[in-house]
Amino acid sequence: MKEYFLKKAEENLPEIKKKEIVINVEPITLGVGDTYIIDLGNHHVGYFSFKMWYVDGYIDAPVRMAVRFCETNTEIDDDYSDYKGGLCASWLQEEIINVDFPGVYNMPRRYAARYIKISIISAPKACALSDFVFESVTSADVDKLIPFDIRDLKLEKIDKVAVNTLKNCMQRVFEDGPKRDRRLWIGDLRLEALANYYTFNNSEIVKRCLYLFAATERNDKGAIVSHLYENPIFVSGDWYISDYSLLYVCSLCDYYNHTGDEETFKDLYSVARSAMDAAENYKDDYGIVDGGAFIDWCPGLYNKTAFEGIYLYTLDLWCQTIKKLNYTEVDIYSKRLEEGRNIAFEMLFNKEKNAFINKFDENQYSVHSAVWMVLGGVVSGEDAKKILLNALDSEDSVKPKTPYMHHYVVDALITLGLIERAEEYIKYIWGGMVDDGADTFFEIYVPNNPDFSPYGDRKINSMCHAWSCTPTYFIRKYGLGYDL
Ligand code: RAM
């Protein structure tokens, strides 16, 4: 089967479109210690080349330079020597290169950048740099971007940045971030696919990603691995994230619901079903799923309630989808859903506090729990509105840290019909990034705390991150900003 899934994935390999960004400047003369900064005018992903020539006589030794690719202007002056993050420093986009001869120099690696900073470290004499060309690459077909009408200027800007984020993450697969980790994760795939349906509408790339995950290995509980690598060779990731495994099921259901492609759904049905059933193996003695969930990069978050919500949310979408396709198994899952919701309400809801505060999560109060209990259908209507808004407005609740989790906050607000509040939230989070000068949306965003990083150092954060591109989905799907 693995070979078959990989073959299907290859059949849906998207074409990479290239575009040259040419920076027209007079040759710049630089000596040792000098620095030159190129502004590409927007965030791009691709390959960089330039020309080096001599000024006062032939250069008889290599010119050593540091070339730094910066996604935002804050990176231009960062000191990389004091990097203290937990992820490998080699993700920091800086190369020390030695240019041996005058001529055009093509840098071989792919970068994500708005700014390029060149510093001359050693050289026998001054050199001149010119002909800066950045060849941007993406599998998004910008000519096919679905046109739409929007009257709210702020939301229009947000939409533009969201589309740019998606475009730059759309490569051979939906990458999570073109600077880091440059791979396919289920949680990111789901959100990119949703945004893609309302923008570039490239269903082949979604199909490719779904087949690639089908070709990966399962853990002893039957869950799907959270990420994979596919270029130059296919390698299954090694981290099992139990909520991501469920989000594979959601991604397949979304795909079918959007495209109506029954053949692919049927092909991947058993993969999704095994992920759905794997959740049974995560249940504790109370019948609540437990263990190994991600939810958000939020330090100190207790996430049992939220994970249960994701389980119920997935089960619900799964039931709705397989019902449409007349699968008789729907009865089994509908029963699980009903029972699951009852158990969740009984065990996780605190009537006195009118909140999802419980012993399973050490009595921690979080927006995450409220959001996922709403999305899981454990509470609804006016009660749910109060529960969610209280959690969002409380000074004591733990708040989301990533636009990934912010996405599900907006989703929960819209599910409850709180459209204005959803719009406000989008403007607060993603609008905040736009106000900070974002060309693309960041992996992590905590208002008023730009230095926050779950990895121990802000410098390693990805500033063009796929899971942050979803305002375009909400804006376009629900017509936000249209009725002014
Ligand atoms: C990080 C990346 C990625 C995400 C995982 C869980 O490595 O931000 O996008 O899906 O975490």
Tokens matching residue 187: 């949680």
Q: How far is the CA of 198 from the centre of ligand 1 (A)?
A: 23
Distances (CA, A) of 125 to 27, 60, 302, 386: 15, 9, 59, 70
d(CA 162, CA 158): 6
What digits encode the pLDDT tens for the residues 18-68? 999 999 999 999 999 999 999 999 999 999 999 999 999 999 999 999 999
Q: What is the DSSP string of 52-71?
A: EEESSS---SPEEEEEEEES
- Average pLDDT, integer, range 168-183: 98
Please check whether residue 413 is in contact with residue 421, taking contact to mean a CB–CB distance below 8 angstroms.
yes
- Average pLDDT, integer, range 239-249: 98
d(CA 9, CA 3): 10
> Closest residue (by CA) to atom 9 of ligand 1?
176
37: number of CA atoms within 13 Å, CB side? Answer: 13
d(CA 203, CA 373): 30
Q: Closest Cα partner for 119 from 39, 48, 53, 63? A: 63
At residue 483, the pLDDT reads: 64
pLDDT tier at 416, thresholds 50, 70, 90: very high
Q: Closest Cα partner for 51 from 101, 98, 106, 104? A: 104
Percentage of the chain lying above the pLDDT 90 cut? 99
d(CA 247, CA 375): 13
At residue 481, the pLDDT reads: 87
Please check whether residue 177 is in contact with residue 112, taking contact to mean a CB–CB distance below 8 angstroms.
yes
Pocket test for ligand 1, best of 174, 209, 297 (most atoms within 8 A of CB): 297
Alpha helices in 238-366 (DSSP H): 242-259, 262-278, 304-324, 330-348
What digits encode the pLDDT tens for the residues 333-380? 999 999 999 999 999 999 999 999 999 999 999 999 999 999 999 999
Please provide the size of the chain in residues: 484
pLDDT tier at 480, thresholds 50, 70, 90: very high
Q: What is the mean pLDDT of the chain?
A: 97
Q: How far is the CA of 183 from the centre of ligand 1 (A)?
A: 9
pLDDT tier at 482, thresholds 50, 70, 90: confident
Q: How far is the CA of 111 from the centre of ligand 1 (A)?
A: 19
Residue 100 has pLDDT above 80, yes or no: yes
As for ligand 1, residues whose beta carbon falls within 6 Å of it are 176, 181, 185, 187-188, 294, 443, 467
Pocket test for ligand 1, best of 175, 186, 188 (most atoms within 8 A of CB): 188
Residue position matching structure tokens 């299907």: 8
